[in-house]
Amino acid sequence: MPTEEEYRFAKTAVARKFCTKEQIEHCLSVRKDLKAKGETLPPFHEILVREKFLTPPQVEIIQSIAAGEGAKDPASASDTSDSAAAQGTVIGGYEILKKIDKGAMGTVYKARQISMDRIVAFKILSKKLSRDMEFVKRFEREARATAKLSHPNIILGIDVGEADGRRFFVMEYVDGKTVQELLKRGGAMDEKRALGIVLQISRALDHAHRHHLVHRDVKPENIMVTRDGSAKLCDLGLAKLTNTDSSQTEAGKSLGTPNYISPEQARGETSVDIRSDIYSLGASLYHMVVGQVPFTGSPAVVMTKHIHEELPDPKNINAELMDDTCWLIRKMMAKEAKDRHQTPRDLILDLEKLIEGERISPEPSGRASGAEKDGTASLEKNKKVRRRTRRLGTRRFRF
């Protein structure tokens, strides 16, 4: 019999159209056969992956969705409400002031660090996740990875610890709104404002890249905008050290959000690098200037579209967009990583030029066609075409 957690996983997978009821039943039969043979039973989701009904990224997303739905289920309340802390409670030297947010991972509070008398964001891991030692290791890596990064566009990691059986992570407190909240409130952003935010986050990614870190989950929800307009990248808990052995990060190798996930993450590739973050930032920029995500549908359908479907022209939705902004988005969201900006520094240079009013696209109109829509055209080829055109133009002038 499947456990309650496995049942919720299977129910979510079918409801969100990641797989069919028949495929679930097939895997239950496979596990029954393994049990009859006296073999060690792997987790149910591993059988689904082994039978090629799901990919590892899809498993991660289903688990996240199922955990969130479980939090709404009174039967599982003991596992999700245990991260609650009353106002005035002191945990590990931090006084809880008020709850900010709650998710499947745990609860985030506004708190006061008593020793330094400063306001911080205090994340308490849920009891259920605290019992998962593999997750705890990943959680602790989050703290160590974030603590390495000191940059004005990255939310600073301050402390990690355990007190009274509760594991916690302390971060810089930011008084502002996420880009996701801003989009929900006001729809598509002003183009120049959106480009300015993306430029700041590109600088954050550049700093992370220099420390061999990949965020893996860049999205509007993970971009904070302060009252003075500063943008800060948050939730580096899904970051992966790019210079570590892949076996150390296998458990969390693909945690991207479907609406902004890169094709390589959607395919479950292990060799994900900073170019995946550039794709996700491009998808976020698309949402910011258009007012809707690039692809719609069930999570499984959206992931497939990120892999195979041509990007809808943002100008068809927002005709006021600059041609070069559309070209930039297409380049950032090229299906193949080799056709995107190769580093955040490359992206920063294009953004700075664009914001200053300089042309960045190789096409005179700023539009690309065919393979060029995917950022695959060679810049050198375009330069040769322009040089040949200039020579022909000179020849006509002489006649």
Per-residue pLDDT of the chain (399 residues; tens, 9 = 90+): 677 888 889 988 888 888 898 899 999 999 888 888 888 888 899 999 999 898 887 887 888 777 665 544 444 444 444 556 777 889 999 999 999 888 767 889 999 999 999 999 999 988 877 888 887 887 787 677 777 789 999 999 899 888 888 889 899 999 999 999 999 998 999 999 999 999 999 999 999 999 888 998 899 999 999 999 999 998 765 555 555 443 343 333 444 468 999 999 998 887 899 999 999 999 999 999 999 999 999 888 999 999 999 999 999 999 999 999 999 999 999 999 999 999 999 999 999 999 999 999 886 654 444 444 444 443 444 444 444 434 434 333 232
Which pLDDT score is estimated for 58?
Answer: 84
Same domain, 47 and 180: no
Any idea what the CATH number is for the domain that residue 93 is in? Answer: 3.30.200.20
Q: Which helix (H) or strand (E) holds 31?
A: helix 21-36
Which pLDDT score is estimated for 104?
Answer: 65
Same domain, 165 and 293: no
Give the contacts of 265 (CB within 8 A, at least 6 positions apart): 57, 216, 254, 256, 272, 276
Which pLDDT score is estimated for 257?
Answer: 66
Which pLDDT score is estimated for 164?
Answer: 81
Q: Which of 197, 208, 196 is nearest to 235 (CA)?
A: 208
- What is the extent of the structural domain holding 230? 176-382
Q: Which residue, 139, 172, 205, sits at the end of a domain?
A: 172
Which pLDDT score is estimated for 194?
Answer: 98
Same domain, 168 and 180: no
Catalytic residues: 217
- How many domains does the chain divide into? 3
Q: Which helix (H) or strand (E) holds 4?
A: helix 4-15
Same domain, 203 and 258: yes
Same domain, 102 and 241: no
Q: Which of 103, 254, 234, 125 is nearest to 174 (CA)?
A: 234
Q: Which residue, 141, 172, 203, sits at the end of a domain?
A: 172
Same domain, 227 and 310: yes
Angle (CA) 358-362-365 rounded to 5° is: 80
Same domain, 139 and 209: no
Same domain, 328 and 266: yes
Token reading at 143: 């703290």
Same domain, 253 and 342: yes
Q: For 189, which DSSP code?
A: P
Same domain, 317 and 183: yes
